[in-house]
Structure 1
């Protein structure tokens, strides 16, 4: 039974013995029973997956906020939303867990008592961007996804994901808006940091391990006594960005109008699609199409319409649903329908290729494309209007709502997993064992590109050296004697970050895009220090920076390493050999900007004569390949 009205049948009081409330009933029976009891407005609310914030001391936030987040009560009670992407976490896991329970308690007061599904962008590394990933806060801190790829250790990836799963579960986060298995084939692209690098095979292998860890389907979970079945001990993974972001025109990001075009000058679409096939086989539950608008893309002889992938029926229904057989949840990327205001500035909808359409027509396109949910939006009244005017059949809405409800039932949210133990959350999140494992992974991912054959800067660094440090916390170098100038030091350690062009202000400023060249004054300063004392330079790579000038500035006495998210303590562990640095590059490092500009955006390893190639890294017991 369905209804398009808030009529008396739909609004009848729900009996305590309703089938959907009985955990002994089969999931499909519970879904069907609940769906039949829902009004159109209640169904429409399920189709939106938007941001939510935590109030002071774990209270419910009653915005609107600087990120444009509405009132929690309004979204849940008035708009019937039950899927929320939580933004910045409070200082303690206890507060986050208490907030989650308050949110679930509010949901329980609604007519049907549908529980909330809380999701999160990555929050276990070093990135702090409200649009892509969040700083770790109370959670254990690991290297970025690029760093996991640099270790080449499938088991470590699964261990990381399992650790994050346990911490997510402890505070009630049940959907991971990750992993990101795009290929970083355009070196300038601002989203490379969240990928596993440039190689499709490595990305597929590591991404599959990531999914197994989060969904409790791998060896690590089984060794902990879980049976590998997706359920109450799992965190659902939303793999992104189908059918592969990365080949962006000039490396610009499609969060912004100037980066909307996705291009395939090398004809390598299939290579970008390949990791998603691997993750489907691994059992990922959800998919997110990208913002990008394909330009001049032909697949199997068919020209793909140049509209953003979230609006593209050929891609979502044709490729993902029909060709690849995916019957899980498809959720669009955030903000495709309505213009918004974020951090005090206007932020247009990412309706690339359909900018001319009204919000109502954009939503109709998304539903026709085959998506189940609209990310970053809270406008269920538009769904109601589409159904009541006959533009969209209610049966189409029912199909998506059934998928979304089924996931809640399978995750145990209607049953024992609805709320969490705040005391247990405090014990699990940031547990010393998890923190230590994350720090060790950071050290292992450190990648040695070139090292002095002898002298104070040769690795591993000897104990008791007099050390001059820049860009690092001095109190995290145990055993070293810190000195205030290069002239007084045996060795200098300089920590740098990959360069980028300032964009912004506001939300745009969080995206590191543009030139990969270090400013001349930075290179000159490295050369000055290296002339005075043997020097170790460490560069945090969120993109494949051009390091040739730094390598030249260091000279024969210097050492060049890169990290993909490492605290100073973790870097020190790697430099001194306390933890062996095992990293190998997850992408080529280009030799020049000219080589980057000349390369084809969709073709892996396409920059001419790279300085260091994919896989390079001087690890214990390995040969020492020369720079390319």
Structure 2
């Protein structure tokens, strides 16, 4: 391999596709700076994650076209395709995609609410089969940070605040994706975000400079490592360090992707991880996202050049740079003597070995007809729908309001009327209703930056006049409230006034109404506590699980409905 070909392996860039399944051959640079041929043929890249939601047949067709393009290069190294989670309800271009054509399941936090490792294995095995059919060979998940800071934006993709349960579920997840050992039928699991991305200062996210600090005032740093030990024991193939910059510890105060004490000292030497380490996206280069400028997430090393940041990350022990496409930087580092070529060879061996183990060199192509039959298959969809129902968590049920019966006059808000009409007679005025069904989402503070607006942060409490409007409905008619807990909502008044209160973590209207009318059983238990006030949240320690004073509902709370 030439140095340029080696350097190309060290980058895991983003691609989009045309809706008809053809590769992108023209770009205005507003979202992605390079076309697909420029990255594969011009820059020797062979690792990509796909942005956006598309049809199954089209994804498989596109995957084959990309592989044909790679086969036409000098070495013909096959492409490894990855994806963020795409089996649930969250659509955040920086973290996940909604299910679209794939089977729809609750978010990972909902799987934690059920707490069943066998179900998580079934879920991951279905993900594996759907991914394989369209050509995804690396899952940029599971995310096993502990949800210890109630305001943090990334909690819905975690398994909650319980380290022991998270460890059990990640082991089932890794086995479901990879099998007993990595092979031709596997999807490689890139576990994230080492060494645990939950304890963010003020709950802000380190995608952004104001959220870069990770702190441990409760002294529970080791506690956040427990799920990662379990993932390594299960044989996870890849690991992604987070952006966070540790403050006030004995670790160097630089982002984890640059942190030799964390990546080499802790992950590789102490914990014995021998797989691929891929940085989180955008550590080296400034970028423009949705027309707005974002600095490289090189926290603690902002003053360094792109090349110096790359050298620091390689010295830390990283093998690959996520979301970057600048192999010329690596070439220059080697030719200048700053980084020895032997260090590049070490990472390239890991990266190419996985391609061989996954069987990509033998056959990188997929069958579009089989993909169309596999993705969203009826039994996969039914399993996901059943999990949605099981994950629902009944928090209150005043006077045994639930289960509902008969065919009541229903007033619904933020519920699909076409779905609700199968359960009752709809009315447009709450005064005419026997009962109401209201769906809510955890509050958040709007952020003016477009990309940051996808990361729901800040206050967890409903502000006026919205809260008054909600309570007025609850006082006017007996109301079932269902709140989506992407974070730990502060809802003491709603809990007091609702006839019944249910938490969801990604569930359809039909799933909710089936549980409300006793047609399905809700089994969920809260995967984190629900605080009583924002003052209690602000006084809690971000590294300590369930640390707010006098929560409205404790971790593990959930009622069982009787017929």
**TM-score, normalised with respect to structure 2:** 0.98
What are the within-5 Å matches in structure 2 for residues 116-515 of structure 1? 116-217=79-180, 229-297=181-249, 303-416=250-363, 418-454=364-400, 458-477=401-420, 478-515=422-459
Q: CA deviation at 1:574?
A: 1.7
Q: What corresponds to 2:13 in structure 1?
A: 50
CA–CA separation in structure 1 for the residues paired with 2:172 and 2:517: 30
Q: CA deviation at 1:55?
A: 1.5
CA–CA separation in structure 1 for the residues paired with 2:244 and 2:436: 44
Moved over 4 A (4+): none
Query: Would you say the 8 A contact 1:215–1:237 is kept in 2?
Result: yes
Q: What corresponds to 2:76 in structure 1?
A: 113
Q: CA deviation at 1:45?
A: 0.2
- Pair 1:86-2:50 in alignment: yes
1:563 to 480, 498, 504: 504
CA–CA separation in structure 2 for the residues paired with 1:413 and 1:67: 29
2:513 to 556, 559, 572: 572
State the structure with more CA Rg: 1
Query: Would you say the 8 A contact 1:68–1:340 is kept in 2?
Result: no
The C-alpha deviation readout for 1:389-440, integer Å capped at 9, x for no partner, is 1111111111100000010011010113x00000000000011111111111
- Pair 1:535-2:479 in alignment: yes
The C-alpha deviation readout for 1:302-358, integer Å capped at 9, x for no partner, is x21000000000000000110011110000000000001011110110000000000
- Pair 1:617-2:558 in alignment: yes
Total equivalences in the alignment: 561
- The 3-state SS of whatever aligns with 2:102 is coil
CA–CA separation in structure 2 for the residues paired with 1:190 and 1:500: 9
Give the RMSD, CA atoms, in angstroms. 1.2
CA–CA separation in structure 2 for the residues paired with 1:343 and 1:158: 37
Query: Would you say the 8 A contact 2:402–2:561 is kept in 1?
Result: no
Q: CA deviation at 1:531?
A: 2.1
- The 3-state SS of whatever aligns with 2:125 is helix
Query: Would you say the 8 A contact 1:523–1:553 is kept in 2?
Result: no
What are the within-5 Å matches in structure 2 for residues 69-80 of structure 1? 69-80=33-44
| 1:69–1:87 CA distance, 2 compared to 1 (3 A) | farther
The C-alpha deviation readout for 1:441-467, integer Å capped at 9, x for no partner, is 11110100000224xxx1111131111
Q: CA deviation at 1:595?
A: 0.4
Query: Would you say the 8 A contact 1:42–1:80 is kept in 2?
Result: yes
CA–CA separation in structure 2 for the residues paired with 1:528 and 1:580: 29
- Pair 1:544-2:488 in alignment: yes
Q: CA deviation at 1:620?
A: 4.4
Q: CA deviation at 1:65?
A: 4.6
CA–CA separation in structure 1 for the residues paired with 2:530 and 2:31: 35
Q: What corresponds to 2:30 in structure 1?
A: 66
Q: CA deviation at 1:483?
A: 1.2
Q: What corresponds to 1:587 in structure 2?
A: 528
- The 3-state SS of whatever aligns with 1:104 is helix
Q: CA deviation at 1:381?
A: 0.5
Query: Would you say the 8 A contact 1:526–1:553 is kept in 2?
Result: no
- The 3-state SS of whatever aligns with 1:506 is coil
| 1:122–1:442 CA distance, 2 compared to 1 (3 A) | same
Q: CA deviation at 1:211?
A: 1.0
Q: CA deviation at 1:249?
A: 0.6
Q: CA deviation at 1:387?
A: 0.7
| 1:66–1:571 CA distance, 2 compared to 1 (3 A) | farther
Q: CA deviation at 1:548?
A: 0.3
Q: What corresponds to 1:223 in structure 2?
A: none
- The 3-state SS of whatever aligns with 2:488 is coil
Unmatched runs of 5 consecutive residues or more in structure 1: 1-37, 218-228, 298-302, 623-628
| 1:99–1:65 CA distance, 2 compared to 1 (3 A) | farther
CA–CA separation in structure 2 for the residues paired with 1:487 and 1:618: 29
Query: Would you say the 8 A contact 1:293–1:352 is kept in 2?
Result: yes
Query: Would you say the 8 A contact 1:277–1:324 is kept in 2?
Result: yes
CA–CA separation in structure 2 for the residues paired with 1:621 and 1:243: 42
CA–CA separation in structure 1 for the residues paired with 2:170 and 2:155: 15
Unmatched runs of 5 consecutive residues or more in structure 2: none
Q: What corresponds to 1:519 in structure 2?
A: 463
Question: Which stretch of the first structure deviates more once superposed, 544-553 or 596-605?
Answer: 544-553
The C-alpha deviation readout for 1:371-392, integer Å capped at 9, x for no partner, is 0000000000011111111111
- The 3-state SS of whatever aligns with 2:280 is strand
CA–CA separation in structure 1 for the residues paired with 2:289 and 2:410: 44
CA–CA separation in structure 2 for the residues paired with 1:408 and 1:85: 15
Query: Would you say the 8 A contact 2:403–2:561 is kept in 1?
Result: no
Q: What corresponds to 1:39 in structure 2?
A: 2
The C-alpha deviation readout for 1:260-297, integer Å capped at 9, x for no partner, is 00000011000011100001001110000010000011
Query: Would you say the 8 A contact 1:501–1:513 is kept in 2?
Result: yes
Query: Would you say the 8 A contact 2:437–2:479 is kept in 1?
Result: yes
Q: CA deviation at 1:125?
A: 0.4
CA–CA separation in structure 1 for the residues paired with 2:139 and 2:516: 33
Query: Would you say the 8 A contact 1:119–1:176 is kept in 2?
Result: yes
Q: CA deviation at 1:183?
A: 0.6
CA–CA separation in structure 2 for the residues paired with 1:408 and 1:312: 27
CA–CA separation in structure 2 for the residues paired with 1:476 and 1:171: 31
Query: Would you say the 8 A contact 2:397–2:501 is kept in 1?
Result: yes
Query: Would you say the 8 A contact 1:52–1:69 is kept in 2?
Result: no
Query: Would you say the 8 A contact 2:423–2:513 is kept in 1?
Result: no
Question: Which stretch of the first structure deviates more once superposed, 516-525 or 596-605?
Answer: 516-525
